Amino acid sequence: MKKKLLIMVGLLVVAGLAIGGILYVTFPVQITTYGGMGLNYLKTLSTPAGTLSTEMNPAYQGVAAASTSPPPTDPAWPDAAAGDWPSYNRTPSSQRYSPLNQINTKNVGQLKVLCTYDIHEYAAFESGLIVVNGALIGTTEFDIFSLNPATCAENWRTHLDYAGALLPANRGAAYMDGMLFRGTQDGRVLAFDFKTGKQLWDTRIADPKHGESVPSAPIAWDGLVYIGNAGGDYKGGKGHMFALEGKTGKIVWEFFLAPQVPGDEVRGPLSKTPLDLSTWNMAPGLPVSGAGIWTSYTLDVKNGLLYVPGGNPAPDFASGAREGINLYSDSVVVLDAKTGDFKNNFKVVRKDWHDYDVSNPPILLQTMGGKQIMSVAPKDGHLYGYDLADNDKLLYRVPVTTIENDAEQFAIGQNVHFCPGPVGGDEWNTPGYDPTTNLILSGTVDWCDTVMIEDEKRLQGVALGQPWTGIGYRNPLNVFGKESKTDGHWAGWVYATDADTGVWKWRVKSNYPIVGAITPTAGGVVFFGDLGGNFYALDASTGQKLWGQVLGVPGGGIGGGIITYTVDGVQKIAVAAGFTMVAWPTKPETAEVVILGVDGASATQ
């Protein structure tokens, strides 16, 4: 009897595995997504309360101001209202600093939730919220919506029907001339009427059969919409940058961030480029892949220059299959905004075998010491500063999270543990710059990874359009390695770094990673959230905690935009809360927009 029972149990296990395998092959996105959500729920049954620890740097010495004049004004978007937040990073330069000061160090302790808008979706809610012309605009993978920015009341919501994706994000919309623009996971750019949400046009810029998608938040300027495609973690996927005519969706120019080869589809007039295959020594039969574009962009309005962050080369971890420095992956590429012609390139991560994308738009700023700086914070856990007036000289490369064993090469059949992992460092949100303190404020992830790479035969066997990281593990949940909290690394940092010298003044450690936006204000306050769902206000000068509260479900995560704006002269704050994604062990909860404020006088600027 016992033997028969064991046989029956064995048969049930085999049948369960077979059914699971069939379901995974048939519905890979759904099975991975909901299976991952279930595992994340179990991992977060115990959710510690949020904690912060602040440290001052005794070696810090500020730089003397080059001028007694006030800090230079960050150029705004044309026709933008002073109290709005009109783009992903508020201004073309991506500084994220708000001149609003009604909410300040004296009264931020009275901050309270005014209203919430429940999206009723389990979503990787990474939307960079915007406020323009009296409306708050947000996006999810399948929706775009307009809210009253004071009451959370819905003005309209437009739903899109298309197949879902394994990395199901959308990072926001752009506004120009009464229209809204966003990308889709099936490779298109869409335009909508700002007042009604009616779709106006549809332009394809990417091929989902190659794993390409369009999750980034576009920016729009002088009649053109700037947006590129993601897909650099998929076999055959390549990053392309585009400018589209705002009124019609017509492609004005196209720029390849990975070399164009015969057979590549060209969708628009190609811009001038020096890029060729000389930095991509691919193994025979393997396609050039990578350099996806997946967050947003920075614009130098004065000089008409577009700054484009480029992602990792592929296969991500098996760098032996793509010898060379793989231009323009892991770079900031500078293009003529009108023509798309190549102007410059900053190869930030020189050689990448860790999936260390340049993962967010760079900041353009004038420091207190008078330097013209481009600062950028990729996934490698460092903050970089380049002097734009001195032959783009690298001024500093300083760590802003834990760095361990990042020089060891990977090998077939060998596990290598390193920090930060491919979801470490800075993710999709740009650091903020506070011109009153001269500090660059980075929110980072302190989470490590273990990787073992696969052999060339398996690399060859992956079909076009499938995930192509080069990982040697068969579990689909380990496609980017084995990330675990058990090694003591599951935390986040806010670093306040001097923009002139790269020396940190203060730093704050959270017991949860930080992937949401960082927003400094003229009120002397820095706002941020973490993956425990904790929303905080810090003193911009000292890093001391001034206020904190869980938004939504404890452990649910904050992964999207944090913005501040005025309604009828009163300052408010909006947060994209509720972050549910298979790659991050957060407690599943529906996404929501949370609007906060304080009682008191009207905002001043």
pLDDT recorded at residue 359: 97
Asked if 190 contacts 181 with a C-beta cutoff of 8 angstroms, the reply is yes
387-425 pLDDT, tens digit per residue, is: 999 999 999 999 999 999 999 999 999 999 999 999 999
In the chain, the N- to C-terminal Cα span, in Å, equals 81
- What distance in Å separates the CA atoms of residue 258 and residue 230, rounded to the nearest whole number? 12
Gyration radius of the chain's alpha carbons: 23
Q: List alpha helices for 162-312, DSSP H.
A: none
Peptide bond into 386 cis (omega under 30): no
**By the 8 A CB rule, do 191 and 180 touch?**
yes
* Distance between CA atoms of residues 340 and 256, nearest Å: 10
Task: Measure Cα distances from 186 to 121, 213, 230, 241 in Å.
Answer: 19, 6, 11, 16
Neighbours of 349 (CB within 10 A): 24
Residue 20 has what pLDDT?
Answer: 46
Residue 225 per-residue DSSP state? E
Q: Is the predicted pLDDT of residue 379 greater than 90, yes or no?
A: yes
| Residue 339 DSSP one-character state | T
At 9 the pLDDT is: 44
Torsion angle of alpha carbons 357, 360, 362, 363, nearest 10°?
Answer: -150
Closest by CA to 504, choosing from 494, 518, 515, 513, is 494
Spatial neighbors of 96 by CB under 8 A, at least 6 apart, are 89, 90, 363, 430, 431, 432, 433, 517, 518, 519, 520
Mean pLDDT on 279-287:
96
Could you tell me the two tokens for 24?
A: 């995974």
Task: Sheet containing 188-193: give its strands across.
Answer: 174-176, 179-183, 188-193, 199-204
Tokens of 529: 């959230």
3-state secondary structure of 11: helix
Cα atoms found within 13 Å of the Cα of residue 421, Cβ hemisphere only: 27
Q: Which tens digit of pLDDT belongs to each residue from 70-90?
A: 778 898 999 899 999 999 999
Spatial distance between the Cα atoms of 141 and 580, rounded to a whole number of angstroms = 12
For residue 202 the two structure tokens come to 């549809």
Output the pLDDT for position 567. Answer: 98
Whether residue 15 is predicted with pLDDT greater than 50 in this model: the reply is no
Token representation of residue 173: 């919309």
Which pLDDT score is estimated for 593? 98
Q: For residue 18, how many other CB atoms are within 10 A of its CB?
A: 10
Q: What angle do CA 477, 233, 343 make, to 5 degrees?
A: 150
Q: Are 510 and 444 in contact (CB under 8 A)?
A: no
User: How much is the average pLDDT of 169-195?
Assistant: 97
DSSP 149-187: TTT--EEEEEE------SS-B----EEETTEEEEE-TTS
CA dist., res. 255 & res. 268, Å (int): 9
Tokens 């425990």, located at residue: 532
Give the number of residues written for the chain: 605
pLDDT given for residue 486 in this prediction? 66
pLDDT at res. 33: 57
CA distances from 125 to 113, 172, 417, 531, 561 (A): 19, 10, 29, 12, 9
Residue 34 has pLDDT above 60, yes or no: no
Whole-number pLDDT of residue 205: 98
Mean pLDDT across the chain: 92
- Answer yes or no: are the C-beta atoms of 36 and 582 closer than 8 Å: yes
The DSSP secondary structure of 95-125, one letter per residue, reads: ---B---SS-TTTGGG-EEEEEEE--S--B-
pLDDT of residue 40: 65
The pLDDT tens digits for 415-451 are: 999 999 999 999 999 999 999 999 999 999 999 999 9
Give the C-alpha separation, 519 to 30, whole Å: 34
For the whole model, what pTM was predicted? 0.94
3-state percent breakdown (helix, strand, coil) of the chain, nearest 5? 10, 35, 55
Q: Which residue has the tokens 């794993």?
A: 211
Render the burial of 65-77: b for 16+ CB within 10 Å, e for the rest: eeeeeebeebebb
